[in-house]
Amino acid sequence: PDPAPQHVLIVGGTGHLGLEFCDHFAHRGARRITLVSRSGETAAAAQRLQQIRSATSTQILVTRCDVGDQAAVSQLAEDLHGAPPDLIVHAAVDYSAIELADITTEKVDRVMRAKVVGIWRVLTTCPRTENCRVILCSSARATIGGSGQIVYAAANRMLDAMAHRLRAQGLNC
């Protein structure tokens, strides 16, 4: 098995999926986990984080950052400069049903910022170790869609394509 990562960066870190990854890697022996979230440490996340912190020796930091904002990602990159992650997990979701007739440029932009643009900014701006691994959490919605899911499905399909491109460039994604 692969050794436990030393520093895990989780985008969408205070959401349900992000906290599951946090719990997993903390119990696997990660020394540091940085949770990146637009909202920071919410009351709902704080309770779960307290449980993880009390059960492990992992240093868990929560950073408020909208990864759709390049200036905010640049600041995140500065903050990570002394401790680049060796695992980046993209668990961010902007799951909102949008019926075909209700699709607008603004709604598409919001979903794409959360699911595609933000992680691209993180991967192209933030430092990472030479052997950094990347996990991009897509959804079956990219294949099966569903009522009101066309924009979310497209965002997940784009994330899948990004993973293929990153692997072709040699990144362990």
Residue pLDDT, tens place only, 82-123: 999 999 999 987 667 788 889 999 989 988 988 899 999 999
Contact present, 129 and 84 (Cβ < 8 Å): yes
| Helix%, strand%, coil% for the chain, nearest 5 | 50, 15, 35
Specify the pLDDT at position 152: 86
CA distance 93 to 146: 17
Q: What is the mean pLDDT of residues 158-173?
A: 95
> Is the pLDDT assigned to residue 170 strictly greater than 90?
yes
pLDDT (0 to 100) of residue 140: 76
- What per-residue confidence (pLDDT) applies to 38? 92
Per mean pLDDT, which range of 13-17, 140-144, 151-155, 156-160 is the poorest? 140-144
pTM here? 0.93
Percent of the chain with pLDDT over 90: 73
- 77 vs 75: CA distance, rounded Å: 5
Give the three-class secondary structure for 71: helix
Which regions of the chain does DSSP assign to beta strands (E)? 7-11, 32-37, 59-64, 87-90, 133-136
Average pLDDT over residues 53-77: 97
Q: What is the mean pLDDT of residues 12-23?
A: 96
